[in-house]
Amino acid sequence: MNNLTGMKRILVTGGAGFIGSHLCKRLVEEGNDVICLDNFFTGSKRNIENLLDYHNFELIRHDVTEPILLEVDQIYNLACPASPVHYQYNPVKTIKTSVMGAINMLGMAKRVKARILQASTSEVYGNPAVHPQPEEYWGNVNPIGIRSCYDEGKRVAETLFFDYHRQNGVDIKVIRIFNTYGPNMNANDGRVVSNFIVQALKGDDITIYGDGTQTRSFCYVDDLVEGMIRMMNSRDGFTGPVNLGNPGEFTMLELAEKVIKLTGSKSKIVYKELPADDPTQRKPVIDLAKKELEWEPTIPLDKGLERTIEYFRSVV
């Protein structure tokens, strides 16, 4: 804690990415001293350029696979590419980022006695055989497929968090984030919401992979950031893992139709091959977040899509 002001010194790894940039903004505006650490693999300075003039914001170009020591009170560990296109681009680097990044950040948390939150993912449930997914479900993950660098990397990171907690008493918090969307998503990172909106705005074909019956649950980024901050500041001893996501479940066909309607686009829907290991369904049980964090999403998909479409209109 900064003794003069009572505000916290907070590190956000992956802070120049989509979610990280929203989190940094919120933490800076609340008056905390925020350090954003990023290697700019998928993030960009543009996402955080509105923060550069704040005296309580610092930017460090650094790769989490390398050790670093910073005196902070809290660490949000978000560094890791999140879209399948980006995390499959260099899969060995992806798994190194999750595993070595977790070891380096946990080592720092142990040394400086910081509280540390891991941005884990619904991907730890793999292609779930249990639906919807509660935190107790151990998942159904292919260990050798093209998504495994991400899924298994995140699973090992969770293991490391719990072992540092049990073995070294590190103060951990683990959240499992379900599909999140909003402004600052990278227009060409291949995720479904950004793809569909960009395609619709350009009048290009909307690409549905497979037959479009697979489902996802989409959470607007402001809701997620609220949940992350509540989890970081939750009671001592509550480690999670806790699901953070919006339980509203939609097929990819429904999403495509919504985007076409909200953009007023003349784009046509086309069907492409389904990527390997693409989960057929996904929806969070959020009872634990409701109970422990008094959190639940407030922004329905249509409203969140409208805001996201407005953002992409300004960048496409």
To the nearest whole angstrom, how small is the minimum distance from the Cβ of residue 218 to ligand UDP? Answer: 9
The only residue of 14, 84, 212, 279 in contact with ligand NAD, by rule CB under 6 A: 14
Pairing label, strands 215-217, 249-251: antiparallel
Contact flag: residue 20 with ligand NAD (CB under 6 A): yes
| Number of residues forming the site for ligand NAD (CB under 6 A) | 29
Q: From the list ligand UDP, ligand NAD, none, pick the one residue 56 interacts with, judged by a Cβ distance below 5 to 8 Å according to partner type.
A: none
Structure tokens at 258: 């919504």
Given the residues 150, 164, 181, 220, the one annotated as active site: 150
Which is it for the CA torsion 120, 45, 226, 106, positive or negative?
Answer: positive
Closest CB to ligand NAD among residues 33, 189: 189
Strands (E), the chain: 9-13, 33-38, 57-61, 74-77, 115-121, 172-177, 180-181, 206-209, 215-217, 219-220, 242-244, 249-251, 269-272
To the nearest whole angstrom, how small is the minimum distance from the Cβ of residue 14 to ligand NAD? Answer: 3
CB 8 within 8 A of CB 32: yes
Q: Please give the Cα distance from 147 to 153 (Å, whole number).
A: 10
Closest CB to ligand NAD among residues 12, 265: 12
To the nearest whole angstrom, how small is the minimum distance from the Cβ of residue 248 to ligand UDP? Answer: 15
Annotated active-site residue 150? The verdict is yes
Angle at 234 between CA 138 and CA 291, to 5 degrees: 65
Closest CB to ligand UDP among residues 10, 260: 260
Interacting residues with ligand UDP (CB under 6 A): 83-84, 179, 191-192, 195, 207-209, 214, 216, 252, 275, 278
Return the active site residues: 150
